[in-house]
């Protein structure tokens, strides 16, 4: 029975999903999660990130991710209930954009890791910056402007890299570090993304960065996928020598290092390059052909789908990435996802079943009440100084506020994903996709059938499926993506739009758009 293991290093935890690809037992063997705050409390994170006095600065400790990998592999070997001797290949998914800064001796140190001591204890001194800025960091507005100016403006950048400069993208983050800490920047020999940092630890050598995750750096040309020397030069001095190699998403980076074999009894499995969580979710939700979009309701909410040709968003809010299945994928990200829904839930002392009951007790359209769901800084549209705004929503009525945030989020998603096309079918995934009430609002606002996929971690499943695909290629076999995902991405529930509600939202979407336009006129933002 060929086994494949997929990881997902997300904002709040590291998930491992093991799949069996044997013809008679094809399916998920098991999934386990190492929650950072709960299981690795000594790093002092909250929701997976470090407390910060400045709300625009959001960092996490890279050694926490390394220790999570060690702890999770040990748990997988003990708790999955199968012999991991049949493991053929491993890959992973990681939160995108986050950057890990390493001293020049990193590669050498990797080669000297001993199985006698825990991994993280042997990585002291390899970091030239103790913490990694992550995708929630919005502190680089100045650097975004500087990079866009140097590269001929946002439109040229978007046409070349798939996105204009966004605060969380790696290039502005690198630039800010190089400007503010010139000495530490000089001492940096390599900048990895979260994905290539963890893949390097698995192979015990510097692993390449895949084209999918590299699309989130603002440093790669989409066609052909290669570092864009103009952008590299505009970002920071000496950066060209510090970037990892680029590789297609199906590249085998090496085999599991001796550490993992000796310490946790794993075999000499292939390690396939890791990718970003959104590219991996595209595979893990089975959205491998144009026409199907996926909405992931996680810490952030994202909408994405495959694209044969790279169409760039006219309003500048979307992204085009190299897709792990070949071709491209379009995507739009909303930072006020689950944490904003939790803010409303907690403000009224509800749990999720109370939240769902409140949603069910109010009519579609909320009697014309509309809310802009900006509880924290927002990526789409860009809002740096948050100020949730409501019109016609009673601030003291729990049910009205619950409906207002869910409707506001779905209308924002429909509005800002129009550039990607109109979805016929939406695949729903992520923690909040468990909530059928939320999916009904999604189906009604988009006027599309919503199919909920089983399991909450499509990124880890996508990574395991990518491991299978790359393993076949390494064996000289060509397997179509439909065949790779078959049996793993079967929807468990269909939620269909209710025609009367669709009509209500056709009108309300116009009100939402007008309210957003007015609010942005006053908001502090970069245009």
The entry of ligand ADP, ligand XUL, none near residue 292 (CB within 5 to 8 angstroms by kind) is none
Please name which of 436, 437, 96, 30 lies closest in space to residue 299, comparing C-alpha atoms. 96
Instruction: Give the angle subtended at the CA of 449 by the CAs of 448 and 452, to the nearest 5°.
Output: 130
| Interacting residues with ligand ADP between 375 and 434 (CB under 6 A) | 430-432, 434
Q: Which stretch binds ligand XUL (CB under 6 A): 1-9, 22-30, 94-102, 350-358?
A: 94-102
Longest dimension (CA), the chain: 65
Q: Is residue 435 helix, strand or coil?
A: coil
Q: Is 279 exposed, middle or buried (0-12, 13-18, 19+ CB in 10 A)?
A: buried
- With a CB cutoff of 8 Å and minimum separation 6, the contacts of 297 are 337, 338, 428, 429, 430, 431, 432, 433, 438
User: Quick check: 489 binds ligand XUL (CB under 6 A)?
Assistant: no
Q: Of the candidates 235, 302, 336, 440, which one interacts with ligand XUL according to CB under 6 A?
A: 302
User: Quick check: 17 binds ligand ADP (CB under 6 A)?
Assistant: no
The entry of ligand ADP, ligand XUL, none near residue 150 (CB within 5 to 8 angstroms by kind) is none
CA distance 128 to 283: 34
| Interacting residues with ligand XUL between 252 and 291 (CB under 6 A) | 276-278
Cβ at position 269, least distance to ligand XUL in Å: 26
- Which of 71/434 has CB closer to ligand ADP? 434
- Which of 68/220 has CB closer to ligand ADP? 68
Cβ at position 383, least distance to ligand XUL in Å: 15
User: Quick check: 333 binds ligand XUL (CB under 6 A)?
Assistant: yes
Q: Provide the Cα torsion 346, 348, 349, 353; round to 10°.
A: -90
| Interacting residues with ligand ADP between 321 and 340 (CB under 6 A) | 338
Q: Is residue 264 helix, strand or coil?
A: helix
Which residues on neighbouring strands pair with residue 87, listed in sequence order?
3
Q: Of the candidates 37, 230, 342, 513, which one interacts with ligand ADP according to CB under 6 A?
A: 342
Cβ at position 337, least distance to ligand ADP in Å: 7
Give φ, ψ of 320 to 5 degrees. -115, 130
User: Quick check: 10 binds ligand ADP (CB under 6 A)?
Assistant: yes
User: Quick check: 11 binds ligand ADP (CB under 6 A)?
Assistant: yes
User: Quick check: 34 binds ligand ADP (CB under 6 A)?
Assistant: no
Give φ, ψ of 76 to 5 degrees. -60, -40
Q: Which stretch binds ligand ADP (CB under 6 A): 6-14, 61-69, 100-108, 253-261?
A: 6-14
How many chain residues bind ligand ADP (CB under 6 A)? 15
CA distance 176 to 142: 9
By beta carbon distance, the residue nearest ligand ADP is 431
The entry of ligand ADP, ligand XUL, none near residue 135 (CB within 5 to 8 angstroms by kind) is ligand XUL
Cβ at position 491, least distance to ligand XUL in Å: 22
Q: How many CB atoms lie within 10 A of CB 228?
A: 20
The entry of ligand ADP, ligand XUL, none near residue 381 (CB within 5 to 8 angstroms by kind) is none
Q: Percent helix, strand, coil in the chain (nearest 5)?
A: 40, 20, 40
CA distance 77 to 294: 32
Q: Of the candidates 95, 140, 255, 292, which one interacts with ligand XUL according to CB under 6 A?
A: 95
The entry of ligand ADP, ligand XUL, none near residue 274 (CB within 5 to 8 angstroms by kind) is none
Instruction: Please give the helix or strand (H or E) that residue 353 lies within, else none.
Output: helix 352-360
- Assess contact for 57 and 49: CB atoms under 8 A: no
Give the x-and-dash track for 124-153 against ligand XUL (CB under 6 A): -----------x------------------
Q: Provide the Cα torsion 196, 202, 204, 209; round to 10°.
A: -20
Please name which of 269, 198, 303 lies closest in space to residue 474, comparing C-alpha atoms. 269
Q: Which stretch binds ligand ADP (CB under 6 A): 7-15, 83-91, 232-240, 262-270?
A: 7-15
User: Quick check: 12 binds ligand ADP (CB under 6 A)?
Assistant: yes
Binding residues for ligand ADP (CB under 6 A): 10-12, 298-299, 338, 341-342, 352, 430-432, 434-435, 456
Binding residues for ligand XUL (CB under 6 A): 10-11, 95-97, 135, 168, 216, 276-278, 300, 302, 333
């Amino acid at each position: 029975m060929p086994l494949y293991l997929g990881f997902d290093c997300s904002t709040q935890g590291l998930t491992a999903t093991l799949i069996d690809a044997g013809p008679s037992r094809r399916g998920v063997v098991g999934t386990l999660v190492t929650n950072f705050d709960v299981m690795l409390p000594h790093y002092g994170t909250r929701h997976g990130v470090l407390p910060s006095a400045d709300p625009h600065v959001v960092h996490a400790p890279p050694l926490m991710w390394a220790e999570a990998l060690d702890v999770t592999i040990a748990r997988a070997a003990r708790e999955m209930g199968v012999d991991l001797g049949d493991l053929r290949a491993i890959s992973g998914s990681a939160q995108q954009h986050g950057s890990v800064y390493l001293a020049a001796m990193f590669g050498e140190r990797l080669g000297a890791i001993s199985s006698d001591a825990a991994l993280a204890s042997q990585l002291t001194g390899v970091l030239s910056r103790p913490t990694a800025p992550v995708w929630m960091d919005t502190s680089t507005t100045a650097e975004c402007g500087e990079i866009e100016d140097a590269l001929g403006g946002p439109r040229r950048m978007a046409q070349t890299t798939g996105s204009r400069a966004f605060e969380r993208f790696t290039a502005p983050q690198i630039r800010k570090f190089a400007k503010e800490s010139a000495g530490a920047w000089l001492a940096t020999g390599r900048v990895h993304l979260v994905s290539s940092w963890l893949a390097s630890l698995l192979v015990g050598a510097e692993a390449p960065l895949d084209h999918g995750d590299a699309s989130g750096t603002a440093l790669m040309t989409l066609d052909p996928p290669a570092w864009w020397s103009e952008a590299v030069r505009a970002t920071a001095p000496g950066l060209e020598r510090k970037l990892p190699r680029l590789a297609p998403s199906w590249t085998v980076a090496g085999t599991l290092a001796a550490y993992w074999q000796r310490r946790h009894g794993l075999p000499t499995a292939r390690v396939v390059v890791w990718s970003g969580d959104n590219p991996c979710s595209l595979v893990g939700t089975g959205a491998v052909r144009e026409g199907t979009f996926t909405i992931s309701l996680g810490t952030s909410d994202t909408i994405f789908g495959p694209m044969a040709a790279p169409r760039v968003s006219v309003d500048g809010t979307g992204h085009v990435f190299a897709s792990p299945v070949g071709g491209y994928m379009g995507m739009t990200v909303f930072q006020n996802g689950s944490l904003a829904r939790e803010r409303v839930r907690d403000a009224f002392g509800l749990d999720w079943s109370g939240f769902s009951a409140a949603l069910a007790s109010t009519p579609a359209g909320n009697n014309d009440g509309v809310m802009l769901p900006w509880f924290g800084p927002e990526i789409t549209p860009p809002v740096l100084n948050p100020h949730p705004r409501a019109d016609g929503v009673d601030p003291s009525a729990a049910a009205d506020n619950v409906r207002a945030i869910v409707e506001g989020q779905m209308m924002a998603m429909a509005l800002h994903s129009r550039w990607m096309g109109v979805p016929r079918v939406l695949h729903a995934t992520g923690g909040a996709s468990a909530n059928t009430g939320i999916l009904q609002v999604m189906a009604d606002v988009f006027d599309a059938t919503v199919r909920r996929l089983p399991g909450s971690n499509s990124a880890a499943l996508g990574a395991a499926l990518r491991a299978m695909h790359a393993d076949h290629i390494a064996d000289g076999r060509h397997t179509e993506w439909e065949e790779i995902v078959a049996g793993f991405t079967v929807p468990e529930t269909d939620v269909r739009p209710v025609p009367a509600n669709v009509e209500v939202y056709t009108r309300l979407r116009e009100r939402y758009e007008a309210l957003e336009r007015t609010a942005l006129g006053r908001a502090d933002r970069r245009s």
